[in-house]
C-alpha cells in the first residue's frame, strides 16, 4: 500500500464510522484521534488517553482491518501515541478556604473503586467513560450521565471516580451526594437561614457526583436550585457526574434540566452477561475469604442474573453458611441455601442460535449456511448482522461462544454487528419491523 493510500484508508475508516455511531460517541471517541504518520506497514495515531485506544480496538478492530495495513497476525497495524497531559490540567489553582469542603468531608464506600469493578461487555463503555472523566475532570465528557437498572453498579462507579480523583487530583474540591441528601441539605439550610453559604459551597466545587437523580422528579422547588447549581458548575467546566435509573429523556424534569443533562455523554449500564457475573462472584467471594469453585460460580450466575446486589446477597449467605458448617459446596447444597434467591423465569433459556438463524433466514430470504459463511453480499451481510444482534440480545451466554456459533466469528465482529443494527433500527423503520418480526417468530 502506498503511504497516500494508507492515509486515505484512515480517512475512509473515519467517514465510515461517522455514519455508524451516534454524534456524541463520534465527538467523544473518534474526533479526538489524530493521524500522525502513515507508511505502507503501519499507521501512527495520536490519542488523548488510553481509553480512546481501547474504545477503538474493542469496537472496531475488524472494521479497521478492512481499511488499514495488517500485521502478520491479521490485526490492523496501528501504533498509538498517547498525548501527555500538561501538569496544570491535573491541579486546581483555587485557594483553599477552611469553610469549603475538604476531602475528608467526602463519604465514599471504600470498596467502590475501579479495582473492584468487574468489567464486561455490558459496562465496558460506561466504565471507560468514568475512567476518562476521573483522569481529566472537566475536560472530557461533561456532564457524564450514567443510567441503568437497580443494583447494576452505578453508585459503585460514581464512587470509583470519587476515589480516583481524591487520590490523583488532591487539590480538587469534590462532593458526592445523593439527590435526597442534596434536597435535605437545602431544607436544613433554608431553616437555618444559611442557604447562601450552602450555595457557595456547592458552586465552588470542582467535581460534583450526584446519585439517584430520579428523586428530583416532582420536586419542583428543588429542581430549580439544582439546575442553577448545575449550570454554574458546567459553565466553569467543573465536572459533574450523574447516576439515574432512567435516561434523561424519560425523567419527569424540566426541558432545561433534561437538556443540560444530555449535554455531555449519556452512557447506559446494562445487566452483566453470564461470564461477567461469574467473574463478579469470584471476585466478591475472594474478598470475603470464601473460595467458590468455578462450577458453583456458574451455577449461581445462571440462576441470579438481573441484579449484582442479589449476587452479593447470595455470596454473603454462602459465606455465613460456610463459617457455620463444614459442608462441601456442591450444587445441591448451594441450591438449598440459595433456592429462594434463584430467579425462576430464567430468561430466554430455550432460545437457541439455531432458532434465531432459522427465523432470520426465513424473514430475510437467505440460507442459514450463507449467514454462517463469509459472503459480503449486501443482503446476506445484513441478515448475518441481524442474527448476531438478536443472538446477543436474546441469548444469555458469553459473547465469545455466541460469536463462535456463527461459523467461528470473533467477539468484536459480534459487537460490531450488534452496534450497527441497534443504531440502524433507530432510524430505519423497515429494518426495525423485520427485526421485530424475527423476534416474534423466535419467541412463539
For ligand ADP, the binding residues (CB under 6 A) are 112, 116-118, 123, 150-156, 280, 308-309, 312
Sheet with strand 78-82: strands edge to edge: 34-38, 43-47, 78-82
Nearer to ligand ADP among residue 213 and residue 361 (C-beta): 213
**What is the smallest separation between the CB atom of 310 and ligand ADP, expressed in angstroms?**
9
CB distance 224 to 186 below 8 Å: no
**What is the smallest separation between the CB atom of 163 and ligand ADP, expressed in angstroms?**
13
**What is the smallest separation between the CB atom of 154 and Mg ion, expressed in angstroms?**
5
319: phi then psi, degrees, rounded to nearest 5:
-70, -40
How many beta carbons lie within 10 A of that of residue 105, not counting itself? 12
Is residue 155 a contact point for Mg ion (CB under 5 A)? yes
**What is the smallest separation between the CB atom of 240 and ligand ADP, expressed in angstroms?**
17
**187: partner contacted, choices Mg ion, ligand ADP, none (Cβ within 5-8 A by kind):** none
Task: Tell me whether residue 403 is exposed, middle or buried, using C-beta atoms within 10 angstroms of its C-beta: 0 to 12, 13 to 18, 19 or more.
Answer: buried
Cα 436 to Cα 211, 386, 433: the distances in Å are 35, 11, 5
CB distance 39 to 3 below 8 Å: yes
Nearer to Mg ion among residue 150 and residue 369 (C-beta): 150
Nearer to ligand ADP among residue 265 and residue 280 (C-beta): 280
Question: What nine digits make up the cell of 337?
Answer: 441455601
Is residue 204 a contact point for Mg ion (CB under 5 A)? no
Nearer to ligand ADP among residue 284 and residue 420 (C-beta): 284
Cα Rg for the chain, rounded, in angstroms?
24
Nearer to ligand ADP among residue 214 and residue 352 (C-beta): 214
CB distance 419 to 412 below 8 Å: no
Taking CB atoms, the residue at the shortest distance from ligand ADP is 153
**What is the smallest separation between the CB atom of 298 and ligand ADP, expressed in angstroms?**
17
Nearer to ligand ADP among residue 32 and residue 313 (C-beta): 313
**280: partner contacted, choices ligand ADP, Mg ion, none (Cβ within 5-8 A by kind):** ligand ADP
**What is the smallest separation between the CB atom of 235 and ligand ADP, expressed in angstroms?**
28
Residue owning grid cell 450466575: 301
CB distance 38 to 7 below 8 Å: yes
Residues that bind Mg ion (CB under 5 A): 154-155
Amino acid at each position: 500500500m502506498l503511504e497516500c493510500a494508507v492515509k486515505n484508508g484512515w480517512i475512509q475508516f473515519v467517514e465510515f464510522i461517522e455514519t455508524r455511531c451516534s454524534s456524541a460517541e463520534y465527538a467523544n471517541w473518534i474526533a479526538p484521534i489524530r493521524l500522525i504518520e502513515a507508511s505502507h506497514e503501519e499507521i501512527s495515531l495520536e490519542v488523548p488517553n488510553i481509553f480512546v485506544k481501547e474504545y477503538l480496538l474493542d469496537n472496531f478492530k475488524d472494521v479497521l482491518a478492512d481499511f488499514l495495513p495488517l500485521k502478520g497476525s491479521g490485526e490492523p497495524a496501528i501504533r498509538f501515541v498517547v498525548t501527555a497531559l500538561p501538569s496544570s490540567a491535573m491541579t486546581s489553582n483555587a485557594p483553599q478556604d477552611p469553610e469549603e469542603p475538604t476531602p475528608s468531608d467526602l463519604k465514599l464506600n471504600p470498596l467502590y473503586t475501579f479495582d473492584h469493578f468487574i468489567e464486561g461487555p455490558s459496562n465496558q463503555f460506561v466504565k471507560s467513560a468514568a475512567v476518562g472523566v476521573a483522569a481529566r475532570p472537566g475536560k472530557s465528557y461533561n456532564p457524564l450521565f450514567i443510567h441503568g437498572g437497580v443494583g447494576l453498579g452505578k453508585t459503585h462507579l460514581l464512587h470509583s471516580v470519587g476515589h480516583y480523583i481524591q487520590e490523583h487530583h488532591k487539590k480538587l474540591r469534590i462532593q458526592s451526594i445523593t439527590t435526597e441528601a442534596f434536597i435535605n441539605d437545602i431544607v436544613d439550610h433554608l431553616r437555618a437561614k444559611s442557604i447562601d453559604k450552602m450555595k457557595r459551597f456547592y458552586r465552588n466545587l470542582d467535581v460534583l457526583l450526584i446519585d439517584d437523580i430520579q428523586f428530583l422528579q416532582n420536586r419542583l422547588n428543588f429542581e430549580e436550585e439544582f439546575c442553577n447549581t448545575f449550570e454554574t458548575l458546567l459553565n466553569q467546566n467543573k465536572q459533574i457526574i450523574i447516576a439515574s435509573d432512567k435516561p434523561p429523556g424519560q425523567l419527569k424534569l424540566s426541558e432545561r434540566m433534561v437538556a443540560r443533562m444530555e449535554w455531555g455523554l449519556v452512557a447506559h449500564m446494562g445487566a452483566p452477561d453470564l461470564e461477567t457475573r461469574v467473574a463478579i462472584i469470584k471476585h466478591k467471594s475472594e474478598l470475603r475469604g470464601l473460595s467458590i469453585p468455578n462450577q458453583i460460580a456458574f451455577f449461581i450466575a445462571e440462576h441470579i442474573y438481573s441484579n449484582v446486589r442479589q449476587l452479593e446477597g447470595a455470596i454473603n449467605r454462602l459465606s455465613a453458611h460456610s463459617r457455620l458448617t463444614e459442608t462441601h459446596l456442591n450444587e445441591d447444597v448451594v441450591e438449598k441455601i440459595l433456592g429462594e434467591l434463584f430467579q425462576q423465569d430464567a430468561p430466554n433459556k430455550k432460545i437457541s442460535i439455531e432458532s434465531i438463524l432459522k427465523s432470520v433466514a426465513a424473514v430475510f430470504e437467505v440460507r442459514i449456511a450463507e449467514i454462517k459463511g463469509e459472503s459480503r453480499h449486501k443482503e446476506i451481510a445484513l441478515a448475518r448482522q441481524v442474527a448476531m444482534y438478536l443472538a446477543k440480545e436474546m441469548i444469555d451466554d458469553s459473547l465469545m461462544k455466541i460469536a463462535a456459533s456463527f461459523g467461528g466469528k470473533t467477539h468484536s465482529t459480534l459487537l460490531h454487528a450488534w452496534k450497527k443494527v441497534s443504531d440502524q433500527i433507530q432510524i430505519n423503520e423497515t429494518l426495525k419491523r423485520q427485526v421485530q418480526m424475527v423476534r416474534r417468530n423466535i419467541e412463539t
